[in-house]
Amino acid sequence: MPNNITDTQDEKQEETTNPAVQNSEESSPSQSPAPEMTLEEALAELEKTRQERDAVQAAAQKWQQHEDSQKSELQLAQEKLAAAQQELAQAQTTNLLLEVAAAHGIKPEDVPLLGTGTKEDLEARAARIKELYGAGNTAPPSNSPRQNVQSGSGVGNEPQPDPVTYPSSWVPKALRKNHDQ
């Protein structure tokens, strides 16, 4: 369909620029031009030019399709290469992380704590995490207060209160009388 539009536009352009066609269409009595070619010769020449143009356009279109097909194959190969390189880099990073974690006895759930970087960076972080594992043998702190604890005495063997109750010493004096009764 675009060729039809182009052909129509070309015909209009050729009709306005070709003096033989203009002179044959314009029949004014004051002008007596001497046509260089006859109408039949001009139409034959026009048809020959259109055929040449169509052949050149077809060849150009085939060449463009060939370039596009080559480009698509090249782009496809480049995309596959980039994906393979990314996958390889990710596998190497994972391998390095697991090596360092295994060498320092780091738990699998703590491997992300190592982060990224060079092997030396990972080794330094792994050593720090290993130190924290050793220091982590104590129980986590509790939010409930302990009674009868004095500084320097350490943790006593007294039974711990129920975590949902407060010590009686925390009750305000005004309420303590009502509380004790």
At residue 98, the 3 state secondary structure works out as: helix
Tokens encoding 90: 């990710």
- Higher pLDDT: 143 or 63? It is 63
CA dihedral 146, 152, 155, 157 (to 10 degrees): -100
Q: What is the pLDDT of residue 141?
A: 60
pLDDT in tens, 122-153: 999 988 888 887 765 555 566 666 666 666 65
Shortest CA distance to 124 belongs to which of 135, 134, 113? Answer: 113
- Give alpha helix (H) positions in 136-171: none
pLDDT band at 121 (very low <50, low <70, confident <90, very high): very high
Q: Classify residue 18 by its DSSP letter.
A: -
pTM of the model: 0.36
| Other beta carbons within 10 Å of 126 | 23
Tokens encoding 67: 């370039």
113 phi/psi in degrees, rounded to 5? -65, -20
Which residues make Cβ contacts (< 8 Å) with residue 115, sequence separation at least 6? 121, 122, 125
